[in-house]
Amino acid sequence: MSQQVALPRVALRDVQLPVAAELEQVVDELRRIIAADFPIISEVNEHLLRMKGKLFRPTLLLLSHRAAGGDDARAVTLAAVVELIHLATLVHDDSVDHSALRRGLPTINALFSHQIAVIMGDYLYSRAIIELVRLDDPTPLRVLARVTNEMTVGEMRQLEAHDKLAYGEADYDQLIRAKTASLLSGACEVGALTAAPAYRQALARFGMLLGMAFQITDDLLDYTQPEAVTGKPSGLDLREHKVTLPLIAALARMPADGEGRVVAELMAADQMPSLKQLLQEQAAGRITMGGRLQ
């Protein structure tokens, strides 16, 4: 039996309030770290800086730093580095996903080219590493190097999940841990590096679970919200044949020799509009914005 818990609605702005001043510095740090004197790179940089994200990972790092009793000015630089790693993965992810819209603006692959997106992802990531090395502290470097490697394996798992209707919840959990939650966990852990190990581990675990919930919500929003709300194309996961939790959950309640077989046929025949309609009928009333399928 599913249990409904009434939670108060909390705006991201409220969560960010305690670190609002540092978040403004993060944007300046980001601009400093990615600066280039090569024309195409600076042109792409300008576009990227116009695309404003939520700064969720820097927020987590800075809040975690506060929660662990830290007061290190380097936290702002580390927060910028974490956002930069995120940005590099988004630039690559949009190219891999053939996506044309991000944060309400054209993606790098759409506005420039796939080649430029590949090179720029590497440029941004390598700038993040240069900055980490400059801090001359192996601990955040160790955490973030591990996390970025995990993210690449996650993106590879995502490719493997294409068209795979046998993909189950356990596979999906493993995928979202690596692809998304690892960086949120890393952000929380790096914020708490100076704290006692038990504190640091607890915050890393919090970030991991929050990151999984975050990706599940993103995957739901892909099915339920228009691009005017998300700033990204709506329904892209299905069009790209990505098997995510809404599809896994819908398939689980369809008989394999009935609707389940129809889904497989529609997927194989690239009939995405009909498939979307079938899934919507199936899921009608069952998808909640609480990130849970009832």
Question: Given the rule CB under 5 A, which residues bind Mg ion?
Answer: 93, 97, 218, 222
Q: Which of 65, 127, 177, 179 binds ligand IPE (CB under 6 A)?
A: 179
Tracing tokens 């969560």 back to the chain, one arrives at 15
Helices 138-160 and 169-176 pack at an angle, to 10 degrees, of 140
Residue whose CB is less far from ligand IPE, 172 or 195: 172
Cβ 115 to ligand IPE shortest distance, Å: 19
**Residue 238 and residue 79: Cα distance in Å, rounded?**
33
Contacts of 23 (CB under 8 A, 6+ apart): 16, 55, 58, 59, 62, 79
Which residue sits closest to ligand IPE, CB atoms considered? 53
Residue whose CB is less far from ligand IPE, 189 or 219: 219
Residue whose CB is less far from ligand IPE, 25 or 215: 215
Neighbour tally for 118: CB within 10 Å: 16
**Residue 250 and residue 231: Cα distance in Å, rounded?**
25
Site string for ligand IPE, 1-40 (x = CB under 6 A): ----------------------------------------
DSSP letters of 196-210? -HHHHHHHHHHHHHH
- Asked if 180 is part of the footprint of ligand IPE (rule: CB under 6 A), the reply reads yes
Residue whose CB is less far from ligand IPE, 176 or 283: 176
- Asked if 56 is part of the footprint of ligand IPE (rule: CB under 6 A), the reply reads yes
* CA angle (48 as vertex; 186, 225 as ends), nearest 5: 75
Count of all residues that appear for the chain in the document = 294
- Asked if 182 is part of the footprint of ligand IPE (rule: CB under 6 A), the reply reads no
User: What is the torsional sign of CA 62, 92, 173, 287?
Assistant: positive
Q: Which of 157, 177, 200, 232 binds ligand IPE (CB under 6 A)?
A: 232
**Residue 66 and residue 96: Cα distance in Å, rounded?**
36
Q: Give which of Mg ion, ligand IPE, none residue 260 binds (C-beta under 5 to 8 Å, depending on kind).
A: none
Residue whose CB is less far from Mg ion, 29 or 97: 97
Binding site for ligand IPE (CB under 6 A): 53-54, 56, 89-90, 93, 97, 99, 103, 179-180, 215, 218, 232
